[in-house]
Amino acid sequence: MRRSFLAALMALALPLGALAQTVELAGVKYEAQTELGGQKLVLNGAGIRYKAIFKVYTAGLYLKDKAATPDAVFSTAGPKRLSIHMLREIDANELGKLFTKGMQDNATPEDFSKSIPGVMRIAEVFAAKKKMSAGEGFSVDYVPGTGTMVLVNGKVQGEPIKEPEFFTTLMRIWLGKNPADSQLKDALLGVQPQGRSR
């Protein structure tokens, strides 16, 4: 009895990040922890983007500390990562256009205008890629002092996007007032977990 009580106390004493679990979605695994910019990040949440009844991609959000609201995500210090894995083929140029529209729909005109260099860079990356096939993936990494980096299949695409507002503006596609998918928004915030935890 005493041993189980002590174990419960130790679990409560652990930071939230230590309780993160690996999540599997449509055959894609998101590890409980990753490393970016020399710091450990925890899986805040992961989910599936649906278009009608079709699964389009999975997404996982990594932060230094757990955050349950969009504002908490945006204000969390340290590196951040959004990792996306495609579940079906999609025209990459079209994907870039959808991201641009998503940013416009969720950012103030002022914030969007500050992010235009980054928006153009993202559009160029996807235009050059032509298409994203099922099984391929990309991530958007933010490292303080360096900027936002776009990686396609693990390879960095060009120089970091220096504008500090860009990562937050991009994240509003999924976490803003008009998100691409409200269930995915909840999943990324850890409010409504999807998939199997391990």
The answer to whether 84 and 92 have CB atoms below 8 angstroms apart is no
pLDDT above 90 coverage of the chain, percent = 61
- pLDDT on residue 179: 94
Q: Is 88 helix (H, G, I), strand (E, B) or coil?
A: coil
- pLDDT on residue 89: 94
Residue-number span of the structural domain to which 41 is assigned: 2-197
Give per-residue pLDDT as tens, 127-163: 888 899 999 999 999 999 999 999 999 999 989 999 8
- pLDDT on residue 98: 86
Nearest to 152 by CA among 137, 171, 142, 132: 137
Give per-residue pLDDT as tens, 34-47: 999 999 999 999 99
Burial class (CB in 10 A: 0-12, 13-18, 19+), 159: exposed
- pLDDT on residue 126: 84
What's the Cα-to-Cα distance from 179 to each of 5, 7, 78, 116, 171, rounded to whole Å? 42, 40, 24, 20, 10
CATH at residue 48: 3.50.70.10
Q: Is 41 helix (H, G, I), strand (E, B) or coil?
A: strand
- Confidence band, pLDDT 50/70/90 cuts, at residue 55: very high
Residue 53: CB partners within 8 Å, gap ≥ 6? none
Beta-bridge mates of residue 40: 35
Domains in the chain: how many in total?
A: 1
